[in-house]
Amino acid sequence: MPSYSGVFTLQAQMQAVAANNWPFLPPTVIGQAFGGGFYAGQIGVSGVATHYLVVGPVASAQSNLVYKNVGTATAGADSVIDGPQNTADIVADGNSTVYPAGHFCNDLVIGGFSDWYMPAKNELEVCYYNLKPTTTSNNTSSGINANAVPARASNYTSGTPAQTSATDFRSTGAEDFSTGYYWASTEYSATKAWIQQFYTGVQDYNGLKTDSYRVRAIRRVAV
């Protein structure tokens, strides 16, 4: 295998992956091209990292869709950290007409990777914390996340998290999150699922499954 060094663009990385010439190099900088998308941070248990999170490119991994076309329960899709399992439960429960957002994420193939999924509540929160697009003050009633690395036992302050240091993910950047709500795969009740706003960071359990919000696929890579 060839030797690689330096910083790679996402396009160059995808070409190397397709040619089976891409070695595993752990990501070091939030927002850097990695694993078919961009490095968004780590998740884990008790503050110990288990996976790197990879956010898909906005052009191909983001859409505006309903969670479900009817307000009924989704068996199993209630984990706050296991997005892959939530997505598998969603896909198993109904087709893309019933679950547009889940199938959109599950069916993606980007950069040679087909393991994209709909992020769970705590995974989506890590994306906000590290890739916050604006300088707007945070909602101080959200932010606790036992699966963040390091784990967070208290809510946001008005200034923490700050706007991301990743230029492309800042507002109007090439890969920035919209300042509206995004779906998590985590069900709250038969009729509702968790959503996260990327303007102030508020996490809300009142997202009606039949409402249309943005969804952005992610994947995870074991540490």
Tell me, what's the pLDDT at 3?
Answer: 45
pLDDT at 23 (0 to 100): 62
Task: Lay out the sheet containing 181-187: strands in order across.
Answer: 62-66, 212-216, 181-187, 192-197, 203-208
What are 13-26's pLDDT values in tens digits?
555 555 554 566 89
- What letter represents residue 26's amino acid? P
Tell me 118's DSSP state. P
Q: What is the pLDDT of residues 135-193, one digit of tens each?
A: 999 999 999 999 999 999 999 999 999 999 999 999 999 999 999 999 999 999 999 99
> Which residues, in sequence order, are CB contacts of 45 under 8 Å at separation 6+?
147
Query: Per the structure block, which two tokens stand in for 165?
Result: 């240091």
Q: At a CB cut-off of 8 Å and minimum separation 6, what does 15 contact? A: none
Provide CB contacts within 8 A for 89, sequence distance 6+. Answer: 74, 75, 76, 77
pLDDT in tens, 34-48: 999 999 999 999 989
Burial code (b: 16+ CB inside 10 Å, e: under 16) for 177-197 equals bbeebbbbbbbbeebbbbbbb
Alpha helices in the chain (DSSP H): 10-18, 58-61, 83-93, 100-106, 121-131
Q: According to the model, what pLDDT value does residue 126 have?
A: 98
Q: What is the pLDDT of residue 14?
A: 56
Give the pLDDT confidence of 75-132 residue by residue, as tens digits. Answer: 999 999 999 999 999 999 999 999 999 999 999 999 999 999 999 999 999 999 999 9
| pLDDT score of 2 | 44
pTM of the predicted model as reported, rounded to 2 decimal places: 0.89
Name which residue leads in pLDDT, 10 or 24.
Answer: 24
pLDDT of 71 higher than 70: yes
Handedness of CA 177, 129, 127, 201 (dihedral sign): negative
132-39-187-210 Cα dihedral, nearest 10 degrees: 70
pLDDT for res 4 = 47
3-state secondary structure of 164: coil
